[in-house]
């Protein structure tokens, strides 16, 4: 009975901290969106890039503020422990960008070998649109990774263990994208796998830059650069398209995009295994 009580007490300590984090973040972010009302929707129609930039920057700033508040006043620990230290910054960024690029590259090569991906000549390409979208996406990825591997992950890990933290955080990460699944079963599994990969990348370095770089490389190449559907969205840049993906939906993801198919199930599983193997080898020395 005492073990059950201790377990429930630990669960409660995790739950109320996570709940408070969302209350603080939700309250802070509402200050930037509620006053706009319907004007935000009109802004998105008239100038989608600038509106998206505003949304993504506000998301990043407010989640930083919420994370700082929780680490400073609830956990009573230095904010740098959230994972934003700059030791080995360049190495982690370069390594992450390389892994994200190779991960997507292998996924596309598999589709191409199977005859499901054909290169196209981009029509209407614009550096202005691409750069603007890339900057907005950087803030968006930063927000997602701070949500995935930041205060919530660290709260669970400190009061449980790293495996529970990875699994729960990856489930939440998949849940954040639930609106795009539309009843499909494979996309949530792949997004869960991506969440595991990003959490593992964070565990290896103890900082957020490595998973941010992996995530950013994948997202920005898939959507804005190549013009492919990403997480059910096909408006993440200009109207150009550098590949035509046609094949069985089970493998290519159908309306959800490449991320929702068995090709990515395979490549994300390989990436998880390699990072886990690297982590295990690192612990031996």
Longest pairwise C-alpha distance within the chain: 67
Per the prediction, the chain carries an average pLDDT of 92
Identify the pLDDT of residue 1. Answer: 60
Place of tokens 């295990």: 280
Q: Which of 133-147, 242-256, 269-283 has the lowest mean pLDDT?
A: 269-283
pLDDT tens, residue by residue, 80-94: 999 999 999 999 999
pLDDT tens, residue by residue, 209-264: 999 999 999 999 999 999 898 887 766 556 788 999 999 999 999 989 999 999 99
pLDDT at 181 over 60: yes
pLDDT at 152 over 90: yes
Q: Where are the alpha helices (DSSP H) in 34-126?
A: 39-46, 48-69, 89-113
Query: Using an 8 Å Cβ cutoff, are 118 and 252 in contact?
Result: no
Confidence of residue 124 (pLDDT cuts 50, 70, 90): confident
Alpha carbon distance 223, 241 (integer Å): 9
Sorted by sequence, the CB contacts under 8 Å of residue 240 that are 6+ apart come out as 122, 123, 124, 125, 227
**Torsions phi, psi for 76 (to 5 deg):** 55, 50
Q: Where are the alpha helices (DSSP H) in the chain?
A: 2-33, 39-46, 48-69, 89-113, 127-149, 151-159, 162-176, 186-205, 209-220, 249-252, 262-284
Place of tokens 């796998």: 193
Q: Please state, for a pLDDT cut of 90, what percent of the chain lies above it.
A: 76
Residue 144: alpha-carbon gap to chain centroid: 5
Identify the pLDDT of residue 237. Answer: 58
Q: Work out the average pLDDT over 101-128.
A: 93
Query: Using an 8 Å Cβ cutoff, are 143 and 67 in contact?
Result: no
Query: Using an 8 Å Cβ cutoff, are 250 and 261 in contact?
Result: yes
**What 3-state DSSP class applies to 281?**
helix
Q: Which of 57-61, 91-95, 99-103, 229-233 has the lowest mean pLDDT?
A: 229-233
Identify the pLDDT of residue 196. Answer: 98
Q: Which of 169-173, 181-185, 278-282 has the lowest mean pLDDT?
A: 278-282
Q: Work out the average pLDDT over 168-183.
A: 93
pTM of the model: 0.94
């Amino acid at each position: 009975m005492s073990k059950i009580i201790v377990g429930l007490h630990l669960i409660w300590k995790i739950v109320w901290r996570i709940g408070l984090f969302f209350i603080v973040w939700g309250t802070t972010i509402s200050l930037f969106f509620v006053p706009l009302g319907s004007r935000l929707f009109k802004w998105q129609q008239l100038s989608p890039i600038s509106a998206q930039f505003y949304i993504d920057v506000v998301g990043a700033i407010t989640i930083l503020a919420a994370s700082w508040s929780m680490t400073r006043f609830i956990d009573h620990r230095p904010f740098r422990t959230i994972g934003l230290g700059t030791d080995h910054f360049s190495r982690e960024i370069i390594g992450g960008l390389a892994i994200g690029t190779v991960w997507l590259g292998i996924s596309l090569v598999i589709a191409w070998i199977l005859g499901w991906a054909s290169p196209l000549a981009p029509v209407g390409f614009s550096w202005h649109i691409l750069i603007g979208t890339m900057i907005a996406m950087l803030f968006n990825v930063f927000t997602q990774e701070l949500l995935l591997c930041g205060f919530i992950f660290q709260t669970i890990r400190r009061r449980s263990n790293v495996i529970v933290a990875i699994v729960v955080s990856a489930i939440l990460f998949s849940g954040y994208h639930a609106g795009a699944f539309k009843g499909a079963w494979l996309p949530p599994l792949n997004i869960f796998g991506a969440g595991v990969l990003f959490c593992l990348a964070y565990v290896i370095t103890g900082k957020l830059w490595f998973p941010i770089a992996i995530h950013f490389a994948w997202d920005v190449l898939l959507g804005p650069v190549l013009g492919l559907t990403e997480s059910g969205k096909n408006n993440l840049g200009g109207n150009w398209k550098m590949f035509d993906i046609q094949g069985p939906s089970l493998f290519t993801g159908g309306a959800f995009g490449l991320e929702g198919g068995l090709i990515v199930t395979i490549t994300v599983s390989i990436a998880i295994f390699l990072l886990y193997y690297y982590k295990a080898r690192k612990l031996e020395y």
